[in-house]
Each structure stands twice: as structure tokens, then as C-alpha cells.
Amino acid sequence: MATDRPAPAIAFDRITKRFGAVVANRGVSFEIGAGTIHGIIGENGAGKSTLMSILYGFYQADTGEIRLDGRPARIANTADAIRLGIGMVHQHFVLVETFTVLENLALGREGGLMLQPGIARARAAARAIEAAYGLAVDLDARVEDLPVGSRQRVEILKALYRGAEILILDEPTGVLTPDEAQQLFQILRRLKSEGKTVLLITHKLKEIMAVTDRVTVMRAGAVVGDVATADTDETDLAERMVGRKLAALPDRVPVMPTTPILSARALRIVDAGGVERVKSVDLDLRPGEIVGIAGVSGNGQSELMAALAGLAPLAGGTLTWDGAPVPALGRARALRRLGLGHIPEDRHKSGMVGPFEAWETSVLGYHRDAGHAHGAWLRPGFIRALTARRMVEYDVRPRDARLRTSAFSGGNQQKLICAREMARGPKVLLVGQPTRGVDVGAIEQIHARLRALKHEGTAILLVSVELDEILALADRILVMVDGRFTGELDRSEASERALGLLMAGVHGAAA
């Protein structure tokens, strides 16, 4: 019997992909309707990124078939994907930062030796796309001078300029402010209204519920759920992702006043360009307390964390540990010896070395410690055994201490770094964006570890752009704007509204 039902924009049919002994995708089958926003969620290592890499031509499936608009598609490489109308906005942007926006758009499509005609065509096409989809961006600005949200719009603009009818976005809000995320959602809804098909890969279930039409849940490489967004909720999706019910949040334990371990007074930090990023800040970190710093990225939080970790020079002010000055020479090493742990905001830049094997990354910064080395020589056997135990304890997957760090998913890289810094029982722990790009199950684990360290007496400084995370963990919350603390709230008087108003520079707002 004939049917008028249109063919789906994409159909995955029994897709399987192996990497050696690891099965990344196992018999994956589901469909994505044309002109819809389709969410794909799952734990870190569930196979989402591998599946999208197959769709975009980075990998080829071992078995199975992809159909576009009902027709089998051969996607041998990214050029094939682009030719077939597939575009991808990566979690880590693929732009030439010293080029202008327009030069990035035209790159690879110059149209011959004479560049100007190609540049002129790109400008005209880009302006038409901007007008159609609300993608306002300065075409003549250098990418390196643009904020993160604008860079992401450049990536979307680039994909549409190349003719994308299907757009894949991988963790698109991981580095965006809440306002930038809302602007992105408006763009996605506009794309949908114009008939584009959007695939949204994210760990943020609020976003799935807010913007998608349908959601596919993956676990251990397989599809474990495929539902209309209107027929589910955050709790249902979270439990499908992890395969169990999530633990209830523990009762908050009151913090008793104690003497600070790490204190900063009148701290000033000036960047390489001579710009003052942190402006005479005072801060106390006490045992058994989590201090949260809320604020839009770029207001001095990163520089403050780097200075407290000994990784950035001080332009003024003092740091003390248990009341004694921290030496300026070799400050980072001295702080680590005293008991400071540091989970950096950007794991790729500051927390790991991609080509290193997991066991090597697991002792970065501690490789000279007793037990890890004999004199100048590391003890690989001991460290590998230690790493294997921590991989089990912190649920790092796959549990292969010899695997290159870059081969792990982002969330498992984060868990490996958390294990390195938390398992030692630090006296002070600096934590930057601990759950960026991390799935709901891993978030639950990391939050539980932070609470456990707090109860053991660790002083914790938490920097996060996620207000939900700050409110869930912090005992005391500071708001940072333009290098200064503009407000302080006890958790009992804090709310998203009160914090949002302080972040916007509105003082004396009621919670």
C-alpha cells in the first residue's frame, strides 16, 4: 500500500564501527526527520561522536548503511559529506584565527588565482545567509578578535555557505554564556523554519527539552531510546542515559567558621598585553567549604585561577598558606608540595598532553613524587597499576592505561584529570568548569567526589559558568565582573535570579 510519508532526511541502518577490540557503534538504527531539530544524547564514550564522524566522513562504518532522503549515501570523506549537503560545527572550532571571517569562508573556495572575485562572491553570499538566518557577524573582523559566541556563528555561516542542508552541532554550548546559548537556539529554530535539519549532540538535558523535536539516547554504542521530546522529561532521559536511577542529592551540611588555608590579599594580575584582568581581589579558602565563583567567562576568573595555582605572575598583592607567605620563586611547585590540586578550565591546553598515554597523563605535575620515580627515572609499572586502579575508581573508559590520552572521549579525559587531582586528598582544590562537555552520569560522580572532599576537610574553589552547578555545590558564592568581586551570597540566600542580576551589575538584588 502506498504512503505519502516523506523519506527521513537521514536514516542510520545497523551501523557498526570497531576500533580494535572496542566496539564504538553496535547495530545503530534510527531516523531523523527532515526540517527537525534532533537531539542525540548519551554518556561519554556512548558512541555519539563516532556516529557523527561516520556521517561526516571522518570514519567509515564497518557494516551498515546511511540513507539521505531515502537514497543510500556513500560518504568516503568530508568532501563527500559537504557535497551531499552535510555540515558540522565542531566542539573545538576549526577556524584560522589570524584570518578574517570572510577569508575563512572563502578558504578552499577561492575560485582561481585571482582572489578578489571569489572574495566578492563570498561576501555577497554571506550577507544573504546572514539576513536569512539571523547570523549577524562582522565579515571583516579577525577571528582571533571575536568572542566565542561569534566564532560559533562563523562556523555555522561557513557550513551554510558550503551548502549544508543538514547541520551537526557537537556540544555547541559548552563554551557559551547563557545569553549566547539562547541566541544559538534562536538561530537553530530559524534554520528549522527554513527547512534545514539540525542534529544536536549535547549533555545538557535542559537544552534538549528546550529546543529539540525528538531525541535519541545511546549507551555503550547502541540506541536505548528514541522518543518525541514532548513525550519525555529530563529525569527519564537521564535514567535512560546511565541505565539506572540517579541518586538523590544529599542534605547540605552547614560550614563551621575556620582559619583559611589559602588566602589572597589585594591580588592584581596583568596580562601579556598590559591589561589588568584581576583588580585588587581578596579571597579566603577554608577547610570543608566550597566557594563558587559565578560570572560570564572573560571577567578575570581564568586569570585568578591561574594565579592561585602559581601559573601566572602577580602584578600586586600577596598569597599566604596557613598564614605563611607563598614563595614567588617556583610558586606552582611549592603550592603542589603544600597540598594544592588544580583541575584546569581547559583540559586540552593545561590539563593533559594528547599524545601521552593515560598513565603518563595520570601523574603530570606529580611525576617527581616519591613512589612515581627513582631519582630522574619514572617507575612505569607502578604508575600503570596506580592508573588502572584509578580508572576503575573514577569510571574512566576504556580502562586502558596504555591508550593515548587524545583517544579518550572528552568526558573520560576529564575523569582521568579529576582522578589525578582528587585521589591525592588535596588540602586545597581549584576546580575550573569541572563538568564542561561531561555527561549526566559523570557529572553526578564528579559532584559526589567534590562533596566527599569537602566533608574530608578540603578547601575547594569552584569556577563555573553553569549556575545550576554553582547552586548545587557552593556554600558561599562570589560574583566576578570585570576583574572584581561585585557581590557575595551565602547559598541560603542565592538564586539564579539574584546571581544573574549581580552578573549584570545590578547590586542589592533580592534573591
3-state secondary structure 308-376: HCCCCCCCEEEEEECCEECCCCCHHHHHHHHCEEEECCCHHHHHCCCCCEHHHHCCCCCCCCECCEECC
Q: Which residue has the higher pLDDT, 145 or 200?
A: 200
Residue 206 has φ and ψ, to the nearest 5°, of -60, -40
Q: Would strands 373-374 and 377-378 be described as parallel, antiparallel, or unpaired? A: antiparallel
Segment 111-131, tens digit of pLDDT: 655 567 778 888 999 999 988
| Per-residue model confidence (pLDDT) at position 114 | 52
Edge to edge, the sheet with strand 316-321 lists 276-285, 262-270, 316-321, 324-325
| Per-residue model confidence (pLDDT) at position 511 | 43
Co-location of 31 and 176 in the same domain: yes
* pLDDT range class, residue 452, cuts 50, 70, 90: very high
Co-location of 238 and 271 in the same domain: no
Contacts 24+ apart (CB under 8 A), 115-124: 122/161
Average pLDDT over residues 87-116: 79
| Per-residue model confidence (pLDDT) at position 48 | 92
In a domain, 479, yes or no: yes
Domain count within the chain? 2
| Per-residue model confidence (pLDDT) at position 280 | 96
Q: Which residue has the higher pLDDT, 348 or 455?
A: 455
Domain boundary among 242, 270, 293: 242
Rounded mean pLDDT of the chain? 89
In a domain, 25, yes or no: yes
Co-location of 272 and 214 in the same domain: no
Residue 188 has pLDDT above 80, yes or no: yes
The helix or strand, by DSSP H or E, that contains position 31, with its residue range, turns out to be strand 22-32
* pLDDT range class, residue 450, cuts 50, 70, 90: very high
d(CA 189, CA 184): 9
Co-location of 238 and 269 in the same domain: no
Co-location of 309 and 198 in the same domain: no
* pLDDT range class, residue 434, cuts 50, 70, 90: very high
* pLDDT range class, residue 204, cuts 50, 70, 90: confident
Co-location of 438 and 377 in the same domain: yes
In a domain, 2, yes or no: no
Domain boundary among 242, 275, 309: 242
C-alpha pair distances (Å), 85 with each of 10, 55, 88, 145, 164 = 12, 11, 10, 30, 4
The three three-digit cell numbers of residue 305, written as one number: 585561577
Domain boundary among 208, 242, 276: 242
Co-location of 107 and 55 in the same domain: yes
Q: Which residue has the higher pLDDT, 255 or 249?
A: 255
| Per-residue model confidence (pLDDT) at position 110 | 62
In a domain, 346, yes or no: yes
Domain that residue 149 falls in: 10-242
CATH number for the domain spanning 204: value is 3.40.50.300
| Per-residue model confidence (pLDDT) at position 1 | 46
Residue 288 has φ and ψ, to the nearest 5°, of 75, 20
d(CA 119, CA 125): 10
In a domain, 171, yes or no: yes
In a domain, 57, yes or no: yes
3-state SS class at 438: coil
Co-location of 164 and 112 in the same domain: yes
In a domain, 254, yes or no: no
Average pLDDT over residues 9-16: 98
Eight-class DSSP state of 407: G
Residue 2 has pLDDT above 70, yes or no: no
In a domain, 291, yes or no: yes
Co-location of 19 and 160 in the same domain: yes
Co-location of 237 and 320 in the same domain: no
